[in-house]
Amino acid sequence: MSPSIIYNIFMRDFRKQRKRMLLTLVAILWGTMSIMMLLGFGEGLKVQFMKGTVGLGQGIVIMWGGQTSIAHEGFGKGRRIHLYESDIEYLKKNLPELKEVAGEYIRWSVEIRQDDNILSERINGVFPAYRDMRNMIPEMGGRFINQLDIDLKRRVAFLGDDVKKRLFGDKEAVGETIYIQKMPFKVIGVMKHKVQMNSYQGQDEDVIVIPATTFVSIFGDPYLDNIVYQPHSMDNTKA
């Protein structure tokens, strides 16, 4: 059969079945576009989920004291186990598998004032290693708690990005003064916004962080609320 005859037959059938062929073509195009959109949405969701899961920190373990469940060497069960700052040094010295270790003090519903703005917020007393483990990166122009702040018990504060907005709005916060329990604290940094899909004591955007030593001098807490540590290898996080 010659090409011209084949062409004529095709055109004749196309004119008869034009509507059906166009609908078929549209269906194929729409199906292809839908698959591409779903793949793009799925990849975007995957990236967003990965960002959210590391918002709390990557490869970290949070340890609380708890209570004993059995008797041991003369001590009865149900004995309360407290965590101390000395436990941090013990872990660093005796567990070389750990990359970083930091303790954390927590106090809820603390009065915070900035000019006429009064809030009731969560205060965390932490150590410098807390920053990288918990992914609390400061915005440009600010900084996190450092070792000198710890040694000198400085009254300095690092703000979560949302609590900064509630205190200062759109104004610059770094270098300004806030009052914690009626005591002046200089703002040294604001946390860079992050996606955080999990937490253990609330979202980081809502916290005010101060040096652990300053926290103890103000509130007098004898025990750490928890210890955060990060192994060198993710394999070491297995129970």
Is the domain of 67 the same as that of 87?
Answer: yes
Q: How confident is the model at residue 52 (pLDDT cuts 50, 70, 90)?
A: very low
Is the domain of 134 the same as that of 208?
Answer: yes
Higher pLDDT, 89 or 31: 89
The residues pairing with 125 across neighbouring beta strands, listed in sequence order, are 105, 210
Residue 169 has pLDDT above 60, yes or no: yes
Question: For residue range 12-25, what is the model confidence (pLDDT) as tens digits?
Answer: 666 666 666 676 66
| pLDDT score, position 3 | 66
| pLDDT score, position 2 | 64
Q: How confident is the model at residue 205 (pLDDT cuts 50, 70, 90)?
A: very high
| pLDDT score, position 237 | 53
| Range of the structural domain that residue 41 is part of | 3-53
Is the domain of 107 the same as that of 70?
Answer: yes
Is the domain of 42 the same as that of 87?
Answer: no
| pLDDT score, position 232 | 86
Rounded to a whole number of angstroms, the distance between the first and last alpha carbons of the chain is: 75
Is the domain of 29 the same as that of 129?
Answer: no
Is the domain of 128 the same as that of 26?
Answer: no
Mean pLDDT of 26-35: 74
- Closest to 192 in 3D by CA, of 150, 134, 148: 134
| pLDDT score, position 44 | 52
Q: Which two tokens stand for residue 52?
A: 């959210």
Is the domain of 66 the same as that of 159?
Answer: yes
Higher pLDDT, 191 or 50: 191
Q: How confident is the model at residue 67 (pLDDT cuts 50, 70, 90)?
A: confident
Report the predicted TM-score, pTM, of the whole model to 2 decimal places.
0.74
CB environment 200-232: b (16+ within 10 A), e (fewer): eeebbbbbbbbbbbbbbebeeeeebbbbbbbbe
* Strand-pair category, 177-180 with 207-211: unpaired
- Closest to 54 in 3D by CA, of 159, 132, 127: 132
CB count within 10 Å of CB 196 equals 19
**How is 112-151 classified by DSSP, letter by letter?**
EEETTEEEEEEEEEE-TTHHHHTT-PBPTT-----HHHHH
Is the domain of 19 the same as that of 125?
Answer: no
| pLDDT score, position 5 | 64
Q: Which two tokens stand for residue 76?
A: 């009865």
Tell me what the pLDDT averaged over the chain comes to: 85
Q: Answer with the one of 27, 53, 79 that is the final residue of a domain.
A: 53
Is the domain of 69 the same as that of 153?
Answer: yes
In this structure, what DSSP letter does residue 78 have? T
Is the domain of 108 the same as that of 43?
Answer: no
Is the domain of 129 the same as that of 206?
Answer: yes
Q: Which two tokens stand for residue 3?
A: 């090409």
Is the domain of 18 the same as that of 114?
Answer: no
**What is the total count of domains within the chain?**
2
